[in-house]
Amino acid sequence: VVARIEHPNIVGVYDCGNLDSGFVYIVMERLKGRDLAKLVKAKGPGTPREVASILRQAGAALAAAHGTRLIHRDIKPENIFLIPLSDGGFQVKLVDFGLAKEISADSALTHSGTIVGTPLFMSPEQALADPMDFRSDIYSLAAVAYYILTGRFLSNESAFAKILADI
């Protein structure tokens, strides 16, 4: 499904299949840079201008994925990759669609009952294994925005921590 999305802010997937040995393979675009989690750990929070650029590009990637009815379900700093550009800027690539789910045309929501994703960045409905839709990815991107602006996790300072504690 990800291979169908051709967007400059989504990692390119060129091929996939099964080998005779039974192993599954994916051929993807090779990226040179580092993920957002490593950058924040090394340099601290970003400037408002840097964060705006990251969010604009990551948001465009999510819009493209959502346009194909695909929910990422694991938006977190580790899955937002930054590639340095020669002009001093960077290009964002959304990676790791391993937990992604395609929503069929006849179903607007994912099924409830299974928790997938990274707790510190997942939406409350995702944490509670309730039905979710594209808005869950947007919530997760907002949690990432908070983290890269402050260096702190949103869930440590909100009622969301209580939801996680009650699970």
pLDDT tens track for 6-42? 899 999 999 989 999 999 998 999 999 999 999 999 9
pLDDT at 132: 78
In the residue annotation, 74 being an active-site residue is answered as: yes
Place 161 in a pLDDT band, splitting at 50, 70 and 90: low
For helices 36-43 and 135-150, the axis angle rounded to 10 degrees is 20
Of 20, 74, 96, 106, which is the active-site residue? 74
What would the pLDDT profile of 73-130 be if each residue is shown by its tens digit?
Answer: 899 999 999 999 999 999 999 999 888 888 865 554 555 555 555 677 877 777 777 7
Q: What angle do CA 109, 111, 117 make, to 5 degrees?
A: 95
pLDDT at 108: 47
pTM over 0.85: no
Q: In angstroms, rounded to a whole number, what is the distance separating the alpha carbons of residues 75 and 34? A: 16
pLDDT at 157: 46
Q: What angle do CA 11, 100, 58 make, to 5 degrees?
A: 45
Place of tokens 């869930």: 155
Q: Name 102's Cβ contacts closer than 8 Å, sequence gap at least 6.
A: 1, 68, 69, 70, 71
pLDDT at 91: 97
* 119 or 135: which leads in pLDDT: 135
Q: In angstroms, rounded to a whole number, what is the distance separating the alpha carbons of residues 114 and 104? A: 18
SS3 24: strand
